[in-house]
Amino acid sequence: MQKYFGAILALIILVSCKEKQELVQQLEPAEPVQKPIVKRFGFNLEEFNVVYDTIQKGETFGELMLKNKVDYPKIIHIAEEYKDTFDIRRIDRKPYVLLKSKDTSESAQVFIYQNDKINYTVFDFRDSTANAYKGRRKVNSVEREVGGVIENNLSETLDNLGVDYNVTIDLSEIYAWTIDFFRLEKGDKFKVIYDEHFINDSIYAGRGPIKAALFEHKGTPIYAFPYVTDSLKNILDYYDQDANNLRSTFLRAPIKFGYRLSSRYNLKRRIAYYGYKVRPHKGTDYAAPIGTPIIATADGTVTESTRRGGNGKYVKIRHNGTYSTQYLHMKKQKVKRGEFVRQGDVIGWVGMTGNTGGPHVCYRFWRNGRQVDPLREKLPAAEPIADSLRTDYLAHIDPLKFQLDCIEYILLPKETEDLLDPELEENQLTLNP
């Protein structure tokens, strides 16, 4: 009996010791949990006093840095040595992050200028000589497929489908030569595949280029696929399902949006100011606000970029041995003689230089050295894909075409149509005719 009692007592002591040990472990201070290091823009923000702010109107880079105790020689060094990385004279009203030292001086150690949602520029003042470099935030891309039926216009339909407005612009530019967006019909359809970019999987950061598209206008389907035909020059165009280029050699207008055709080519024009004498107008006038970008209507080489008499400031482009174009009354030219420009490149801005009664660009068009009406010209189509690339192109577009064909059209419910702004028609997207 005593033997059993001793065993039970030993067991009780053992259990009591175990409980005591657990109690002691609970009472002892736990090992401190280390906070994970969180980095932004490549810096541990815990090491600095952090200021989030936005460049104010009229505020300069130099003033901002001097105010935050950056040595003047470092500012000069940044301005001179890194002007190709970032021109501090053109600092815009954008957000920035300022990393200050944690000592009593609180001097700026790092200045991070956020060029846009994705790109940023870092100015590091911690070394004896400051340095600058560009960075990009991590972006995740998600492919999106959209199909819709037009009830009123393309812009409105895409907006109601929650699509970035820039996709509307992209589609209008891809199909600018094949579809008249002023004459879309109810029931026209479209499908589009593109990427949407997100920061931290939640912050929308824009869209990528269109990977493939289909527009069905008046019952005729027109596919569009991007393809690089010259890898050395990285020239990309959009082609249809039969490898035909979707663009013409020339755009119909030298302004993308927001213009008004104010005066057409007219060899029998009479003007009251000149006593109703015949004063031929050999150009086509596109009225637009001062500062509106003027674009090259086709690829070519700038032969003139100067100012002369009634023409004011102008640019002339030679496209080939047959065609040349001229753009008059500019506020300022962007290109110089001898430069090669691509169709759609900005070559200047609308102004009122020379003989003009209002802001516009006078667009002149030459064929074989003779001025003609570009709106009546049967303009040549761009070259199709070369025979040597045709097989590769058709193989490239085959899975994309299958993917497009599988996308379903979304027809917006009538409830959505009833909620549309009645004044929306006045704000419709203005596109090149």
- Phi, then psi, of 380 in degrees rounded to 5: -70, 145
Are 423 and 167 in contact, with CB atoms under 8 Å apart?
A: no
Q: pLDDT tens-digit profile of 137-164? A: 888 999 999 999 998 888 888 989 999 9
Domains of the chain: which residue ranges?
41-136, 140-248+409-427, 260-372
Predicted TM-score (pTM) of this structure: 0.58
Residue 270 half-sphere exposure toward CB, CA atoms < 13 A: 4
Q: How confident is the model at residue 208 (pLDDT cuts 50, 70, 90)?
A: very high
Asked if the model's pLDDT at residue 274 lies above 60, the reply is no
What digits encode the pLDDT tens for the residues 92-140? 888 999 999 988 888 899 999 988 888 899 999 988 788 888 888 888 9
Q: What pLDDT was estimated at residue 250? A: 85
- 376-409: pLDDT as tens digits: 777 777 778 888 899 999 999 999 999 999 999 9
Quote the pLDDT of residue 33: 61
CA dihedral 37, 42, 45, 51 (to 10 degrees): -160
Fold of domain 140-248+409-427:
Nuclear Transport Factor 2; Chain: A, (3.10.450)
* Same fold for the pair 41-136 and 140-248+409-427: yes
Task: Decide: 373 and 365 in contact? Cβ < 8 Å.
Answer: yes
* pLDDT of res. 214: 96
**CATH code matching the domain that covers 41-136, chosen among 3.40.228.10, 3.10.450.350, 3.40.50.300, 1.10.3720.10:** 3.10.450.350
The C-alpha atoms of residue 168 and residue 59 are separated, in whole angstroms, by 35
pLDDT of residue 78: 85
Pick the CATH number of 260-372 from 1.10.3720.10, 2.70.70.10, 3.30.365.10, 3.30.540.10: 2.70.70.10
Residue 230, pLDDT > 80, answer no
